[in-house]
Structure formats: structure tokens, C-alpha cells
Amino acid sequence: MAAPRNITSDGGGRQLVKDEESAAAASSAAKGGGLVNDDSPAGKRTKSERFPLSRWEFAVFFAVFLVFTAGLLCIYLTMPAAEYGKLKVPRTISDLRLLKENLGSYASEYQARFILGYCSTYIFMQTFMIPGTIFMSLLAGALFGVVRGFFLVVFNATAGACSCFFLSKLVGRPLVNWLWPEKLRFFQAEIAKRRDRLLNYMLFLRITPTLPNLFINLSSPIVDIPFHVFFLATLVGLMPASYITVRAGLALGDLRSVKDLYDFKTLSVLFLIGSISIFPALLKRKRVYE
């Protein structure tokens, strides 16, 4: 009776080994064929680290960037000679003071060409999300005064935001989904609830620092905000902040950092203006409920 038990036990062991080998082979084949579950930690890690743009989308983005860069370079080459070593995009208030001193006489002597170069640089930075446009706005106030500086900043900020809007409409969806997935879902839900009073809501967002302007520029075409609404909200909504920044450019010596621009008092005024922009929508809702 002992021999049959040994044979049976040996056969069961062989069968168990075969089953384990088959399972291991199937798992290996699934991994090799790209069938790893995306819900697993490994799948999530691979998915999050993957660059969001496809080759075609990156090629389109790079082509647009080259066109803008070539245009900007052509404008710079047609401008009168200057000490280019002293020209750079300011990153601090001290850089801005030095730039103002270096460009003061140049801007007054070649005003039309300088304004063309200034506008091209501002729009380029706004289109490709390059930090530093707030220093460009301060520079406009320092060089051109409140009135001309205000109109220059509003024009450039609106043109750059519209350019960024169309670039995002072309290739921005995977990038925004990759960078701000939760914020994008929240924004999409808010837009869906306010379709009948979208302009008022967009004005509120533009006037107040509720959402970053960079995020609004990139995500607006993705959540299907019409361009005319985006344009009007940007043109009107950026005026209060532009005026504050340009006016601050007249007194660069009193500024210690960019944070001084938006203290509690300034933020309170912006939120008050933003609240006025959505007041008609709130009044309309109240009448509907009544």
C-alpha cells in the first residue's frame, strides 16, 4: 500500500509544479505583451512618468515654436544696434531696475521699433508659458507711463493668452491632463454648471487670482469655452491687475519683490471687482428661483 501512495504523491507534486510553471509563463507573456494592469503600482508609475505628447504633437509644438522664434529673431535683427549684453529678460526687481536704466534712452530714441520688439517678446513669453511677463508689465509702466503702458500690457496679455489658447487647442489636451488632472476635472464641472452665464464666470476668474492665468489659458479650449467668451473675458478681466502692475512700475525704487504688488488690500479690491462681475448672474438666479 506504501508504493501506490508514493506514486500518487509524486504525480501530484509534478502536476503542481507544472501548474506553477504555466502560471509564471502566462504572467511573463502578459507583461511582455503590455497587458500589465494599469491599476497596479507598477502600471500607475509607468503611466505617470510617460511623456504626455505623442511624436506628432511634439513635432507640431516644436514647429510652432520655431516659427515664433524665427519671427522674433527677424524683428530683433531689424532693430537699431544696442548693447545686447545688457539686454535680458528680468527675473528680479533689481534686474528690472538695471534694464530700465539701460533701455531708457534707447526706448525714447527708437520708440516704434522698441515697442514692436517689446510686444513680440511679451506675446512670445505668454504663448509658450515662459515666466517673467509680470516684470514685462512693470517695465511698461516704468518706460511708457500709466496710460500707454496700460494699453500695451492689456493688448499683449490678451494677444498672448489667445495665442496660448489656440496652441493648447492644437496639442494641449494631453499636457493639461498630465499636469493638472484633478484641477481640470473641477474646472470642467464648474463650466458645465455655468454654461448659461459663462462670460460672468470667466470674468470673475480673470479678475481674481482664483485660478492661475496659465491654467485658464491652457484648459479653456479643452473644456469647450467658446473663443469669443475667452477673448472678452481676457480683455476685460485682465484690466484691473494690469493697471495695478503698470502703476507699480512708476515706483520701482519702492518695490522690494513682486509679492508687494498683491498685498491683502489689493487682493480685496480684485475680489470685490470680481464679485461685481458675477452679481448679474446671481441676481438672475434669484429671480428664477422666485
Lowest mean pLDDT among 61-70, 132-141, 210-219, 246-255: 246-255
Separation between Cα atoms, residue 90 and residue 96, nearest integer Å: 5
Q: Give the 3-state secondary structure of residue 128.
A: coil
C-alpha cell at 128: 509658450
What per-residue confidence (pLDDT) applies to 267? 81
Average pLDDT over residues 40-52: 51
Q: Which residues contact 121 (CB under 8 A, 6 or more apart)?
A: 72, 89, 136
Domain parsing of the chain, residue ranges: 55-284
What per-residue confidence (pLDDT) applies to 219? 96
Q: Are 122 and 89 in contact (CB under 8 A)?
A: no
Average pLDDT over residues 163-182: 94
More confident residue, 27 or 166: 166
Which amino acid type is present at position 147?
V
Q: Are 162 and 173 in contact (CB under 8 A)?
A: no
pLDDT at 9 over 80: no
pLDDT digits (tens, 9 = 90+) for 155-168: 999 999 999 999 99
